[in-house]
Amino acid sequence: MTQPGNYAVCIVGLGSMGMGAAKSCIKAGLTTYGVDLNPQALATLTQAGAKQAAASADSFAAKLDAVVLLVVNAAQVKNILFGDNGLAAQLKPNTPVMVSSTISAADAKEIEQKLKAHNLPMLDAPVSGGAAKAAEGEMTVMASGSERTFEQLQPVLDAVAGKVYRIGEEIGLGATVKIIHQLLAGVHIAAGAEAMALAARAGIPLDVMYDVVTHAAGNSWMFENRMRHVVDGDYTAKSAVDIFVKDLGLVADTAKALHFPLPLASTAFNMFTSASNAGYGKEDDSAVIKIFAGIDLPKNKENP
């Protein structure tokens, strides 16, 4: 059994989820490295106890026992692994690569094949739970891959996950489960925004409406988490509108490939796309409520 301090992992992508995952690895005693282009994120992780944090893994790639990618999309995953000076060519043979970005099943399979050419196993392992769960080491991981790859990544999974679902061995199954999950997440945010917008139009104080729903049957995790941002008037991005434009686009592509109708997801996709088109793409995904005209929304009391 590998001892935690002798196990070196690199988290690539130190956004809200990646930072939480990296800090959870540090807390678990893993030798933790971080990669991001944001100097502030690198400084934050270094202060948290990372062995090293840098804009690339060039100086420590050969030391790693595992890599976790938590970047935005498949294009970033491919560029990091296989672009100029790509990470895949720098890793020791048989180093497991855990791809935790939300990507299509087709992209997951393509990445697996390219990793195989470098003798690197892949775990198709999207995650959920938000920044708070990531920071607590309690993310939900929905993963597919070989039993051996799960074993190789067990120290990482123990550090970052509260629940690990082993979907199967075929790469792409994890990605598909995450995409279906994102269908629900996106529809719940869009429906919550629509309900709160209607309340605003009816003159119901949004803090009252929020309190009622979160203590009644209409509540959901997404309503409770995201509509709090609306009540506070704080649209600082935890997960941006453009993330759901991307994720619901993957939902639409999956449905198209399966010749399957998704009327609610299609409407939510249009709502997020409209919000992005109106200039709210970089704001918190709860800013989808701003597409509704003729309503007054709460202002941020701390930063009006």
CB contact at 8 A, 13 and 69: yes
CB contact at 8 A, 36 and 68: no
pLDDT digits (tens, 9 = 90+) for 19-69: 999 999 999 999 999 999 999 999 999 999 999 999 999 999 999 999 999
What pLDDT tens digit does each residue of the chain (304 aa) get? 456 669 999 999 999 899 999 999 999 999 999 999 999 999 999 999 999 999 999 999 999 999 999 999 999 999 999 999 999 999 999 999 999 999 999 999 999 999 999 999 999 999 999 888 999 999 999 999 999 999 999 999 999 999 999 999 999 999 999 999 999 999 999 999 999 999 999 999 999 999 999 999 999 999 999 999 999 999 999 899 999 999 999 999 999 999 999 999 999 999 999 999 999 999 999 999 999 999 999 998 766 5
DSSP string, 123-142: EE--EESHHHHHHHT-EEEE
Taking the CA atoms of 149, 155, 159 and 162 in sequence, report the sign of the dihedral they define: positive
CB contact at 8 A, 137 and 22: no
Q: How far are the Cα atoms of 221, 227, 238, 279, 302 from residue 298, in angstroms, in the given order?
A: 21, 11, 18, 19, 12
Catalytic residue among 23, 133, 178, 246: 178
Torsion angle of the four alpha carbons 233, 236, 239, 243, in this order, in degrees rounded to the nearest 10 = 100
> Mutual orientation of helices 173-201 and 206-213 as an angle, nearest 10°?
130
User: If you compute the radius of gyration of the chain from its CA atoms, what whole number of angstroms results?
Assistant: 20
DSSP string, 200-228: HHTT--HHHHHHHHTTSTT--HHHHHHHH
pLDDT digits (tens, 9 = 90+) for 86-117: 999 999 999 999 999 999 999 999 999 999 99
Closest CA to 111 of 156, 85, 64, 79: 79
Q: What pTM, to 2 d.p., does this model score?
A: 0.92
CB contact at 8 A, 230 and 289: yes
* Domain architecture of the chain: domains with CATH: 4-170 (3.40.50.720), 176-291 (1.10.1040.10)
Q: Is 178 a catalytic residue?
A: yes
Q: What is the DSSP letter of 92?
A: P
